[in-house]
Structure 1
Amino acid sequence: MRLKNIILITVVLTILFVTARALAQESTGSFSVYLPVLYKSEANILTVIPVGSGGSDVISRQIVRANDDKLYLFANRNGSNTLYSYRTTSAGLPTASANFTAGPPLTESNGFPLAVDAIYDGASTIHLLVNTTNGRVKLYPYNLSANTFGSGFTVATNGHTMNPNDLYVGTMGISGLMDTNGNLHLAYWRSDNRIEYRAYTYTSGSYALVSGSTIVVDTAGSANHPSLAISPADGSVVVAWVSEATNPRKILARVRSSAGTWGAVETVSTAAVWTSTQFGINVDQGPGILIDQSGVVHLTYMQNYDSTGDYGRVHYVTRATNGVWTDTALNFYSHAPAIGIANGVISIIGHGHPQNPSGPCKSMDDMCFMQKVGSSWGSLQLLYANPPGTSLDASPSVKWSVVGYNRPQTTELVFFGVPATSGLNYYNPTLYYARLP
């Protein structure tokens, strides 16, 4: 009887799994809506795990949970032409460093990678969008079955450049996502300080530009740090960026409708936006952006100097489906705050700051987070206290996508720490995996 019950349970679970996968895609006209796969229920426990060499940043999404329920992480390092890859060896939530293994490294031949963005197609390929110190913008396909990189494809040669000998970590210039129709959308920062948008298809190992997709989304110039999101509700695209065309500086955005029509430039920020040319370009600034299932845009940025005499106050901004932006200043100071969503709970993650309220998040060397449940923000919480000799004065990168957004009930992210025994050594970062409760 026990054997029969086991067989029956196995058959039922198999049927349910296959049915769930079949139902994971629904069609609404020309736009496909992919329902995320939840997998088995496991408690979300605050977890931090050191993984290996590499850094992260707020705009790029460097962590992917694939349909096989395994994690894939990608990272770069200041002053190096190596891109690092890591993956979990089995499905589920990792609990220790031993659950990760180093994947194949990728050696970039056209300068040092400034940033890397992992764009998952929801099936068998992660497309790495990379920009380099000498102005290359490139795509590399990563095959999940073979765990290998394909040949690089040059998107552009007029990307923003940086001196490879400088400390440039945090100088973000790329952002991309895949939509449910198989189009890869990207935005990049050009050498003339404009933001260019393009869309590509990927078939049989080749990238092809979508005809008529190319457009310069800013209208005033002096633009940088593009951040792109796609709505899971209707497939519309939002590109936000830092505008230095006015004083004070602003976060601006532009929306491409599901029909492919671009609207006018919209002002996102109400406070003066922090910018700096020290140690890179605007390295502590986002914006970070995502769009929830109902089509509401959620965005974070960092304010310039305020009445405290310091900079770093975190702003949380939403764009309702009627197109109205609402900017809220939070009781949270940080640099390069990242944003995530799980089960409708918004999380903002960033390192601590001396201007924060009394509690566990007064040190820039610690990583912290704040969560919004319903309409109320909770208090600041400690994510991870810095290990001895290490500073977490760094940027997180949070899992989010429209296609292949697996385990949506769990906020997963990466951040990095740097040696701090004699100053902060950003040339030798250690990448950490984390998940929030």
Structure 2
Amino acid sequence: MSEGMLKDGIAPGRLHPAKYPENFSDLHPPLDRHEAFVEADRCYFCFDAPCMNVCPTSIDIPLFIREISTGNPLGAAETIFEQNILGGMCARVCPTEQLCEEACVRMEAEGKPVKIGQLQRYATDIAMDEGKQFFTRAPLSGKKVAVVGAGPAGLAAAHRLSMRGHDVTIFDARPKAGGLNEYGIATYKTPDGFAQAEVEYVTAIGGIEIELGHALGQDLSLDQLAKDFDATFLGIGLGGVNALRAEGESEAPAGLADAVDFIAELRQAHDLSSLPVGRRVVVIGGGMTAIDAAVQAKLLGAEEVTMCYRRGQEHMNASTFEQDLAASKGVTIRHWLQPKRVITDNGKVTGIELEYTKLQDGRLMGMGHTMTIPCDQVFKAIGQTLEAETVAGLELRAGRIAADSEGRTSRAGVWAGGDCIDMGDDLTVTAVAQGRDAAESINRYLAAK
């Protein structure tokens, strides 16, 4: 164990410098041509295509795999991009083990599905590397659409609107476009600046301008957008983070942080060895963000990383694959524990007290007895919330923007999609589908004006 690993508290440089690029290298190295052919040959090309039926973007999976098998990866990429213009990112981050690959007939027959996600990456990477554009703009409509949020939903909406001949301006509060693809996904899932490469690929169709540093509720308002544009799409995600509701949290001690901020800092770091991390880290939560934070804390050199989730393993939002990945990296996952008190000394985290929980008559209940985990860093990964004041005047449901199946909100001329709406499920692929479908609805609306 290195000398740095023995440091108590939160410190950078816990590992030898050579370990960082190794730890944060591509989680799934891409298939080469031969591997892609062999894998594509495993597909049965099912007529009823159960894999396609569970894909939120309805990609014709048997068709694109057949195109790969016949030596036509660009044709495969076009098939993918027709339905999902962010198919390259989704190939990397989509929980295929819960969607298309779980539905694969090979999975049912052999317990080993066709590697649909990696085949999708194989095709889309070739197209993007060659700069191959498959779509052109329709005759210009003279209409202008504002897209607020440069994440998956916003980018998908902007691309489809541009295809339909409308001029699009994307506004985003961050210094870079990409949304969660740029700021909220584990570094080892999308290394080498892929998120920005995808933004450039999507916007290369033309007719899309991106203005950064503009936030709804600050220098942007729905009223002003309604005056300046013919329609507005909101893909603003969720900006707030749920509280632990634990004693000591309000004192904001050093070492208590939001997991989303930790992940964003990692994503933007040029030198991972300069990032501080605790020797003993606790992550509160059971979703993908919790897994990403826990695994990356371990990869940065944390000696002990423990995830604590208030319910059982079967209730966790993180997929079984992600849970197994965390365990393989040395993360301990503990269930039926909820935070009760953040323990501090001189304004710094020294531990967390957790209460054991149980389900009683379908409700989660504290059992009254506790345990303590010594630690110097606690990450909150218990879900994000919509900052409602930014969308004042829009109807909300369950704390998110109320939208119909086409993404229409309670205000005429305003659509929304992605995590910010009540039908969002925190998946990139779902956000893409909702952005794409809202764009088609907007196009019909503009054609009728």
- Same fold by TM (over 0.5)? no
TM-score range with shorter-chain normalisation? under 0.3
TM-score between the two structures when normalised by the length of structure 1 = 0.24
Question: Normalized per residue, which structure has more strand?
Answer: 1
Bigger Rg, which one: 2
Question: Normalized per residue, which structure has more helix?
Answer: 2
TM-score between the two structures when normalised by the length of structure 2 = 0.24
Asked which structure has the greater RCO (Cα within 8 Å, sep 6+), the reply is 2
